[in-house]
Structure formats: C-alpha cells, structure tokens
A and B are shown apart, each in its own frame.
Chain A
Amino acid sequence: EAQVTQNPRYLITVTGKKLTVTCSQNMNHEYMSWYRQDPGLGLRQIYYSMNVEVTDKGDVPEGYKVSRKEKRNFPLILESPSPNQTSLYFCASSLRGTPSGYTFGSGTRLTVV
C-alpha cells in the first residue's frame, strides 16, 4: 500500500531533550516536506527536500533540523525542544512535476513540557 509512515504518533517530552520524528515513504517520491499544524494557523511548512541530499527551509524552520540521506526517509530532528514546538506534525511526499497532491502521513502529536 502506498503510504507515508510517521513515528511516533504521540510523544510527550521535556524541554531540551533531543528527539527525532521519523518519516518514510514507499512511493519513490522526490519531494518530501514537514509541516506543523497549530490552531488558527493551518499547516505551515517547516522544511522540504527536493531529492536526496537536497533540503531547504520552509516558512518556520527555527528549532528544527532535517536530513535526506535516502530517498524514502526524511526525519525531523528537534535538538532542544521547547514548549512552543508543541504541535501536530505532518510529513508529506509528492512526485516531482506532477502536482497530484501530496500524500500525508497520519501525523505526530508532540507535547513539550
């Protein structure tokens, strides 16, 4: 089944404790993105990657890191999480050149206390 898999679905952590949210897709998509969803703000892009080893900042990159060492994986790293990073996170992938719509993961609800 074609899908984007995020883990974990739920995570509660403490301020400053490094964490990684994993994202993997099995559709051989070039593009991958991370979004965060906050009430009243919709979804905002954090980082995106147009292919292996090609990443760039989205609209709200502060406090996040990403890497794209393999085409299928695009982990989101919070080196020192803070409470303002409490949010719902979505990973998404897309086939380049054909805006067939993004395929989204199921979301990761992160709480930083």
Chain B
Amino acid sequence: AQKVTQAQTEISVVEKEDVTLDCVYETRDTTYYLFWYKQPPSGELVFLIRRNSFDEQNEISGRYSWNFQKSTSSFNFTITASQVVDSAVYFCALSEDYRGDSSYKLIFGSGTRLLVRP
C-alpha cells in the first residue's frame, strides 16, 4: 500500500540555519509523483513542487532545494538560510496511480511543523 512518512513532527531552528525536512514514501507503482506543500499559519495549502518518478534530478528554487532518491524512497526538502516566514507545516505527498492516471488522489504524510526563531 502507498504510504508517506514524515518522521519529524516538529523542528525548531534559529533564523539563518539550514534545515532539512525528511520524507520517505512507499509505493508499488513504477509511475508516481511526489509533492511538497506548505501550510502557513493562515491555513491554506501552498504547492511547492512536483516530481515524477522518472526524474531524479535534484531541484533548487531560491533557498529551497529538493533531493529525490529512488534507492532510499526519499524526497527530502532543504531550506537554506531559513527565515521566520518559513515557519509553517510542511506536507509531503504521493500521488497514487489509478488505471494509468496519477492525478486523482494524493496521499499525505502527517506533516512537519517548522518553527524558525528570530
């Protein structure tokens, strides 16, 4: 069965520190997609990134970077030089394949709450 594990319930760092949020997934599908979402204190879900199972290139977007390793079934998220505005709950998610269609369901991890202190 598909599953996403975010073992870090809460992380607290001081501003400007680098922080890595871990995500480990389980799936039997060969085609799948992985996502990261940010949920700031206001509550909405903000899409950060999508990665498909055939693309293991790491991605960098400003202070954000993602490391996808199929060998360890991990899709970790690093924030460099963290800022107070990065304080949020971060969710990793996996899309489940259904009859060749990977877009109908997201399976979420339990989330990691990141607190960045000034």
Contacts and interface: CB of A to CB of B under 8 A. Distances in A.
Interface of A: 31, 33, 35, 40-45, 48, 50, 58, 88, 90, 92, 94-102, 104, 106-107, 109
The 4 A-B residue pairs with the shortest CB-CB distance, nearest first, are: A42-B108, A99-B103, A43-B108, A104-B45
Contacts of B33: 99
B35 A109 contact: no
Given A43-B91, A88-B43, A109-B43, A101 B50 contact: yes
B55 interface: no
9 contacts: A42-B6, A42-B111, A48-B104, A88-B43, A95-B103, A99-B52, A100-B50, A100-B103, A101-B47
B95 interface: yes
A104 B9 CA distance: 23
B50 A106 contact: no
Nearest to A98: B103
A35 B91 CA distance: 14
B67 interface: no
A50 B104 CA distance: 7
* B4, B33, B50, B105, most chain A CB atoms within 10 A: B105
A78 to B, nearest CB: 20
B83 interface: no
Interface in B76-118: 91, 93, 95, 101-111
